[in-house]
Amino acid sequence: MSAIDVQARLAELAAEASVCTACKLCDQRTQAVFADGSPTADLMFIGEGPGQHEDEQGLPFVGRGGQLLNRLLDGVGMKREDVYIANVVKCRPPRNRDPQPDEIEACKHFLADQIRLVDPAVVMTMGNFSTKLLLKTQTGITRMRGMVVPWWGRVVIPTFHPAAALRNGEKMVATMQGDFELAAQTIAEHQRAPEPPAADPSAEPEQLGLFG
């Protein structure tokens, strides 16, 4: 699929999310927050769900967490527009509570399509929710972070959620910076690797089962 087709399909999905009523998070949202960044990015971030600023502006990671994300990207020579940023749920949970299992279940098809379309070499899951969803693990983020886990022809590198680092201080920020450096190094190795054989189109439906 060409980059233009990918962009068009992502725009269709964003439009679907904007009117989605598949879970109760639609009740109090200002707007759905679908994604931000490049549809051809090598690096994709997956957070948890929109907060107040994201709900108001319609973009993921725009508050203090977004500023930290930008700073961490800057530390590895990347910009926000070089990466793709999405969340597990597209609508803000009231009072920033955790997304509930039925809400994640209802919303996860959007994320599966985003990953399949953007096709990044590295996915950084930020925090417990996205890490547990993708890697089907009950192990917490403190133990998972910094691992390089092969996943559907790419790798997942879990790291802390920026909101957690803002609460916990510079030591956690420094740990995250190390995870970002690992991701940048992994992407550089991927770019140096020989081009893999073209994907078998018959494997496509299997991709839709990313989250089982």
Query: Which residues bind to ligand SF4, rule: CB under 6 A?
Result: 17, 20-23, 25-26, 32, 89-91, 103, 106-107
CB nearer to ligand SF4: pick between 90 and 132: 90
Least distance to ligand SF4 from the beta carbon of 23, Å? 3
Least distance to ligand SF4 from the beta carbon of 21, Å? 6
CB nearer to ligand SF4: pick between 62 and 88: 88
Inter-axis angle of helices 64-75 and 170-192, nearest 10: 50
Closest to 118 measured CA to CA, from 94, 84, 89, 93: 84
CB nearer to ligand SF4: pick between 91 and 118: 91
Least distance to ligand SF4 from the beta carbon of 102, Å? 9
The CB-based long-range contact list for 57-65 (8 Å cut-off, 24+ gap) reads: 58/30, 58/31, 58/32, 58/33, 59/33, 60/33, 60/35, 60/36, 60/85, 60/86, 60/87, 61/36, 61/85, 61/162, 64/162, 64/166, 65/161, 65/162, 65/163, 65/166
Least distance to ligand SF4 from the beta carbon of 14, Å? 10
CB nearer to ligand SF4: pick between 32 and 165: 32
CB nearer to ligand SF4: pick between 109 and 190: 109
The answer to whether residues 68 and 165 touch, using CB atoms and an 8 Å cutoff, is yes
Q: Tokens in use for 102?
A: 């039925």
Least distance to ligand SF4 from the beta carbon of 106, Å? 4
Q: Which residues contact 28 (CB under 8 A, 6 or more apart)?
A: 92, 94
